[in-house]
Amino acid sequence: MRCLRIGGLKSYGRHASELLPLIVKRLINLETFDAQGCTHLFDEDFERFTNMLEGSERESQIKHLNLSGCTALKGKFLHHLKGKLPNLTKLELSNLSCIFMDPNHHSNQPDKNASEVGLINFIKTIPKIERIDLEETGKFGGISDSFLDILSRYRSSVDFDLDDQPISRNLMELRLSHAKDITCEGLIKFIKNTPKLQILEVDNTSADQSVLETFIKHNPKGVISLIDCRTISTVFYDKISDSCRTRIGVNQEWEFTPFQYNSKESNNDLITIKTFPSWRDVKIPKDWKEVRDDLDKKFECQAQFDNADEENIGKGKKKEGKKNSWWSNSSNNNVNANGYLEDVWDENHPPRGCSVM
């Protein structure tokens, strides 16, 4: 087995502590381990994981590690994994702001002394890394320019030979949205020193116009997301809007037809810039609510017309002012006076949004 995805698994019973060691023992060729949202994974589990790995005298083959949303982790797992995943190319640690919190600090402020050091020391031992996702992990602090500097400049060789390349030599994607402590200066240095960078996501950070200009210069066909970066002005975006696109369009497959991509959005020679001002130019199709409202108006008009006919003719029974439709909380079959489905509906729940067809 090369891929194991257990995302969302909440509990593993009384043998929970044996899960990760068992993976090391049995899945010797495992390349992808996705445990996203497993809230019962603890730092101690990864200590047992590394102990078993050392005992087996084998090198881990894991290339993709996803621990996003594993909120029981407090940061020590990074120390345990240091030097144990040399083949890692994709690392996902999003929504883990808890690893930068000092458990002994009553105000729950981030522990900036030990937290970032653990992440940096781990990053130093994964020289093949290509993609890193730390979205919302640094929203309380803990991810700063020091992390960016190590990522783009650190060389594993002790004597720093000129032939050696930095850890980020293969890095193509970095997501740091909501990172509180990164600065524009740190981002600019990082962009300049990461030649293969293709995707940079820094939503809701201090990134400004200078960061965007630097990215455009060094990555003319890349993707940068600056949503909620309030220093990016509409005036500046209007100046560059003709030479960029807001989203990556796909027109070859029929499944993407509802998104109504235009020819500019499908031009892969243009840089992709996602900002609040840029979304003004996107043609958004009608969503389900707008469609529903339009159909409601048609039903109401038809009902009024039917009622008028009945009054004029003086026949039949007066109809309802509005007909049922597929999204209503009732259907023509198996409904009671309140409009609930008698056979499947729970009276303790609010009315359902649509009928199952």
Instruction: Return the pLDDT at 139.
Output: 92
Q: For 338-352, what is the mean pLDDT? A: 43
Q: Which residue has the higher pLDDT, 331 or 185?
A: 185
Confidence of residue 90 (pLDDT cuts 50, 70, 90): very high
Q: For 264-285, what is the mean pLDDT? A: 85
Confidence of residue 227 (pLDDT cuts 50, 70, 90): very high
The values of phi and psi at residue 341, to 5°, are: -75, 115
Q: Which residue has the higher pLDDT, 171 or 263?
A: 171
Instruction: Return the pLDDT at 339.
Output: 40
Instruction: Return the pLDDT at 116.
Output: 84
Instruction: Return the pLDDT at 134.
Output: 97
Rounded to two decimals, the pTM is: 0.76
Q: List the domain boundaries for the chain.
A: 3-203+213-221, 289-323, 329-357
Instruction: Return the pLDDT at 13.
Output: 63
Confidence of residue 166 (pLDDT cuts 50, 70, 90): confident
Hey, is 183 helix, strand or coil? coil
Instruction: Return the pLDDT at 287.
Output: 64
Query: CA-CA distance, 74 to 49, in Å (whole number)?
Result: 16
Q: How many C-beta atoms surround the C-beta of residue 217 within 10 A?
A: 10
Q: Which residue has the higher pLDDT, 333 or 273?
A: 273
Instruction: Return the pLDDT at 176.
Output: 97
Q: Is 259 exposed, middle or buried (0-12, 13-18, 19+ CB in 10 A)?
A: middle
Residue from 319, 330, 226, 318 nearest 278 by CA: 226
For residue range 10-38, what is the model confidence (pLDDT) as tens digits?
776 666 778 899 999 999 999 999 999 99
Architecture of domain 3-203+213-221: Alpha-Beta Horseshoe (3.80)
Confidence of residue 250 (pLDDT cuts 50, 70, 90): confident
Instruction: Return the pLDDT at 128.
Output: 94
The angle that helices 43-56 and 19-26 make with each other, rounded to 10 degrees, is: 30
Instruction: Return the pLDDT at 322.
Output: 45
Q: For 216-226, what is the mean pLDDT? A: 96
- CA dihedral (138, 142, 144, 150) positive or negative: negative
Q: Which residue has the higher pLDDT, 114 or 279?
A: 279
Q: For 142-165, what is the mean pLDDT? A: 72
Q: Quick check: 96 pLDDT over 90?
A: yes
For residue range 44-84, what is the model confidence (pLDDT) as tens digits?
999 999 999 998 888 999 999 999 999 999 889 999 999 99
